[in-house]
C-alpha cells in the first residue's frame, strides 16, 4: 500500500516539548519526489507547535498475512506483523524505514500514524488451511511490537494467538510490553505442548534513559516482572538485550543478564544497535537532543563495529558487528551467560499441527 502523490509536512520538534515521542523530526521518506525543510518565517509558528502529537489508526488490508524470509542469521523463516508503525516509539527501531514504503516518514509518522489489519485472523486461517502449507515455527510481531499500546483495545494479537492455538501451531514472540501477560491463558496452554516461547527485550535498566529511548514501552523494571510471570507460568522465556548501544548501554550488559536470570529467564541473546536507512539520521538527531556530550563517542564506536561505516547489512555481521570492540562484547556475553547458567531455547513441537477448518471447505476423507 502506498499513498501516491501525497506529501506530508516535515517539521522539527524540540525534544523537550513532544510528549511521549522519541523522534525529533518528521523527514520526508527516501521514495518521495519532494522533500521539506523547516525555516523560521518570523511569525512564531515554530514556537506554537502542539506539545502532544496524537496517534491515528488506519485500516490496512492484506491479501497475505504470513511473510516469508530467507535470512540466514534469524532463527525463523516466517512471521506475522498485525501492525505497521509502533507507538512504543523506540528511536533505534530498525523497522522505521518501512514507513517510507507507505509515503510516510520514518520519524514521527512511524510513532503516530499506525496501521492495523483487522482481517489478519481470517487471512491466517486461510493460509494455514492451504494444502500447500507446511508447519514451521512462526514469529509474531517482529518488525513492530505485537503488544504495542493499541493492542489493548484492538486485540488483534490475541485473535491471532487463538487461531494458532486452535491449530496447534508453534509461535515465538519478542516484546517489550507487559500487555503480553493478558494472554497468559493461551500461552501457558500452548507452552505445555511445546508451542510457545517468549523473549522480552530490555535495552537499559535506567528508567530515565528508557523514557527518552523508548518512551511508550513498559518501564525496564516492569519488563523484569513480565519475565517472572511468564517463567512462573511455565512458558520458555528468554531475555533479549537489544539493542546493545555502544557507550550508552553497553556497560549494563552483565547487569541486565543478572537481573533477568533472577527474574526467571532461561536463555539469553543480544543484538548490537542497527541503523539502516533513515534510522541513522533519526538516531543522530536524538543523540544531539538527548545525549549531546556522548553523541560523537557513540557514533565513533558504532563505526568501529561496522567496518568504518554507520551500518553494514551483511548477513552474519548486521546483528553482532565486527572488529575488536564487537568481539569484546561477544566475549563478555559468553562469559556472563556461562557464569549465570543460561541454557538454550528448547525446540518447538511441529508434530501437533492441525490445519484450521474453513466454513464451506470440503472435508478430508481421511
pLDDT band at 29 (very low <50, low <70, confident <90, very high): low
Per the structure block, which three cell numbers stand in for 130? Answer: 492451504
pLDDT band at 5 (very low <50, low <70, confident <90, very high): very low
Q: Whole-prediction pTM value?
A: 0.88
Confidence label for 22 from pLDDT (cuts 50, 70 and 90): confident
For the segment 136-142, the average pLDDT, to the nearest whole number, is: 95
- What are all long-range contacts of 35-39, with beta carbons under 8 Å and residues at least 24 apart? 35/10, 36/7, 36/9, 36/10, 37/10, 38/10, 38/11, 38/12
**Residue range 158-168: average pLDDT?**
98
Q: CATH for 52-339?
A: 3.80.30.30
How are the residues of the chain apportioned to helix, strand and coil, as percentages rounded to the nearest 5? 35, 15, 50
pLDDT value, residue 15: 43
CA–CA separation, 191 vs 132, rounded Å? Answer: 26
| Of the candidate ranges 26-30, 131-135, 305-309, the one whose mean pLDDT is the lowest | 26-30
pLDDT of 18 > 90? The answer is no
Cell of 327: 568481539
* Residue with cell string 515465538: 172
What gap in Å lies between CA 44 and CA 34, rounded to an integer?
25
302-310 CB contacts, 8 Å cutoff, 24+ apart: 302/246, 302/273, 302/275, 304/246, 305/246, 305/272, 310/275, 310/280
The string of pLDDT tens digits covering residues 173-205 is 999 999 999 999 999 999 999 999 999 999 999
For 236-267, write each residue's pLDDT tens digit. Answer: 999 999 999 999 999 999 999 999 999 999 99
Q: How many helices (H) and strands (E) does the chain have?
A: 11, 10
| CA max distance for the chain | 77
Q: Please give the mean pLDDT across all residues of the chain.
A: 89
Amino acid at each position: 500500500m502506498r499513498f501516491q502523490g501525497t506529501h506530508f509536512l516535515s517539521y522539527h520538534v524540540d525534544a523537550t516539548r513532544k510528549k511521549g515521542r522519541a523522534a525529533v523530526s518528521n523527514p520526508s521518506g527516501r521514495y518521495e519526489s519532494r522533500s521539506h525543510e523547516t525555516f523560521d518565517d518570523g511569525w512564531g509558528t515554530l514556537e506554537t507547535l502542539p506539545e502532544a502529537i496524537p496517534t491515528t489508526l488506519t485500516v490496512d488490508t492484506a491479501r497475505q498475512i504470513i511473510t516469508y524470509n530467507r535470512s540466514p542469521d534469524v532463527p525463523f523463516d516466517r512471521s506475522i506483523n498485525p501492525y505497521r508503525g509502533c507507538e512504543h516509539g523506540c528511536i533505534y527501531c530498525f523497522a522505521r524505514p518501512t514507513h517510507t514504503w507507505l509515503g510516510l516518514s520514518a520519524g514521527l509518522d512511524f510513532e503516530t500514524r499506525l496501521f492495523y489489519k483487522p482481517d489478519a485472523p481470517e487471512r491466517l486461517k486461510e493460509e494455514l488451511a492451504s494444502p500447500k502449507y507446511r508447519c514451521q515455527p512462526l514469529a509474531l510481531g517482529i518488525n513492530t511490537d505485537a503488544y504495542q499500546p493499541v493492542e489493548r483495545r484492538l486485540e488483534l494479537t490475541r485473535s491471532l494467538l487463538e487461531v494458532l492455538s486452535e491449530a496447534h501451531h508453534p509461535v515465538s514472540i519478542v516484546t517489550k510490553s507487559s500487555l503480553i501477560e493478558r494472554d497468559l491463558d493461551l500461552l501457558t496452554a500452548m507452552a505445555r505442548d511445546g508451542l510457545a516461547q517468549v523473549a522480552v527485550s530490555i535495552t537499559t535498566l535506567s528508567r530515565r534513559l528508557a523514557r527518552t529511548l523508548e518512551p511508550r514501552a513498559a518501564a525496564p523494571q516492569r519488563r523484569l516482572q513480565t519475565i517472572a510471570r511468564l517463567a512462573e507460568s511455565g512458558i520458555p522465556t528468554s531475555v533479549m538485550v537489544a539493542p546493545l548501544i555502544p557507550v550508552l548501554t553497553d556497560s549494563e550488559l552483565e547487569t541486565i543478564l543478572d537481573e533477568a536470570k533472577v527474574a526467571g529467564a532461561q536463555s539469553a541473546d543480544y543484538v548490537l544497535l542497527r541503523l539502516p536507512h533513515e534510522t541513522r539520521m533519526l538516531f543522530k538527531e536524538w543523540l544531539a537532543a538527548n545525549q549531546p556530550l556522548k553523541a560523537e563517542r557513540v557514533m565513533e564506536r558504532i563505526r568501529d563495529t561496522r567496518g568504518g561505516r554507520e551500518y553494514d547489512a551483511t548477513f552474519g555481521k548486521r546483528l553482532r558487528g565486527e572488529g575488536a570492540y564487537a568481539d569484546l562484547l561477544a566475549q563478555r556475553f559468553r562469559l556472563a551467560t556461562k557464569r549465570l547458567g543460561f541454557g538454550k531455547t528448547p525446540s518447538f513441537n511441529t508434530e501437533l499441527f492441525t490445519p484450521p477448518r474453513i466454513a464451506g471447505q470440503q472435508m478430508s476423507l481421511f
